[in-house]
């Protein structure tokens, strides 16, 4: 291993701010991670940047259970070496939205397994596992990964999950629908907007919220031209 895990955790700890840490629970909802040092994201990036790509280091940092260590793990892992088995294993450890979103947005949407894992996780019972499916779908759309067919065939996954009232799931589903309706081709944007309109008229409270949230985002995007 090119870098020592313990020294990286010490470097993170050197940037720890107890006041910031105390705010992470009420402000960001990060209260269930195994260990939280209280390091702002800019400092986490500063520690990760010089490390380059190192899958072995990424795995060791992930296994540390430290919130900030797991953030660095997804920044130094190599998408080319990520396997579905490893994705499943890390996903099973998700215990807060910030790690879930960062792993999907900075690492997993760059792997060739993204769409298959979206399909695998979209029906999961656990809140962060199901959120991961839709954050990964949103991240892929934002970063313009895949073809329009990859998204069109997954609009039914959004519709099926739109009635899940759990906070982190519904916000992930909304993000996926909004990203598809803004970032993709005109035809796919139209399909996403049709789905948003359908959800906005739903008798289900959560589906209705997701549809209206997406329609507001589309209106803002249209106003910007």
Residue 71 has what pLDDT?
96
**64-123 pLDDT tens trace:** 999 999 999 999 999 999 999 999 999 999 989 999 999 999 999 999 999 999 999 999
**30-77 pLDDT tens trace:** 765 558 899 999 999 999 999 999 999 999 999 999 999 999 999 999
Which pTM was predicted? 0.94
**119-143 pLDDT tens trace:** 999 999 999 999 999 999 999 999 9
Mean pLDDT score, 151-163: 98
Tell me the domains of the chain and their CATH numbers.
1-77 (no CATH), 103-225 (1.25.10.10)
**182-202 pLDDT tens trace:** 987 889 999 999 999 999 999
Q: How far apart are the first and last CA of the chain?
A: 49
Residue 2 has what pLDDT?
56
- The single residue listed with the structure tokens 């006041």 is 19
Task: Indicate the DSSP class of residue 146.
Answer: S
Secondary structure of residue 33 in the 3-state scheme: coil
Q: How far apart are CA 122 and CA 125, in angstroms?
A: 9
**Number of helices and strands in the chain (H, E):** 14, 0
Mean pLDDT score, 14-25: 87
Q: How far apart are CA 221 and CA 169, in angstroms?
A: 23
Please report how many Cα atoms fall inside a 13 Å half-sphere around the Cα of residue 50, on the Cβ side: 7
Among candidate residues 193, 192, 130, the one with its CA nearest the CA of residue 161 = 130
Residue 31 has what pLDDT?
64
CB 84 within 8 A of CB 117: yes
Residue 35 has what pLDDT?
86
Q: How far apart are CA 102 and CA 93, in angstroms?
A: 14
Q: Is the pLDDT of residue 217 over 90?
A: yes
């Amino acid at each position: 291993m090119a870098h020592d895990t313990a020294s990286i955790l010490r470097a993170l700890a050197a940037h720890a701010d107890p006041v910031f840490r105390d705010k992470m629970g009420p402000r960001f909802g990060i209260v269930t991670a195994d260990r939280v040092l209280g390091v702002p994201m800019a400092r986490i990036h500063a520690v990760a940047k010089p490390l380059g790509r190192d899958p072995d280091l990424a795995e060791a940092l992930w296994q540390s259970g430290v919130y900030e260590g797991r953030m660095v793990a997804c920044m130094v892992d190599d998408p080319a070496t990520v396997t579905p088995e490893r994705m499943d294993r890390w996903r099973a450890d998700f215990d807060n939205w910030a790690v879930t979103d960062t792993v999907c947005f900075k690492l997993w949407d760059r792997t060739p397994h993204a769409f298959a894992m979206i399909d695998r996780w979209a029906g999961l019972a656990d809140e962060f596992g199901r959120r991961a499916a839709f954050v990964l779908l949103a991240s892929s759309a934002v970063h313009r990964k895949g073809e329009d067919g990859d998204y069109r065939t997954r609009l039914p996954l959004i519709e099926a999950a739109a009635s899940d009232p759990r906070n982190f799931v519904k916000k992930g589903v909304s993000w996926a629908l909004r990203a598809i309706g803004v970032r993709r081709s005109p035809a796919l944007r139209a399909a996403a907007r049709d789905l948003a309109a359908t959800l906005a008229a739903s008798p289900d409270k959560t589906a209705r919220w997701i549809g209206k949230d997406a329609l507001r985002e589309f209106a803002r995007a249209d106003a910007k031209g």
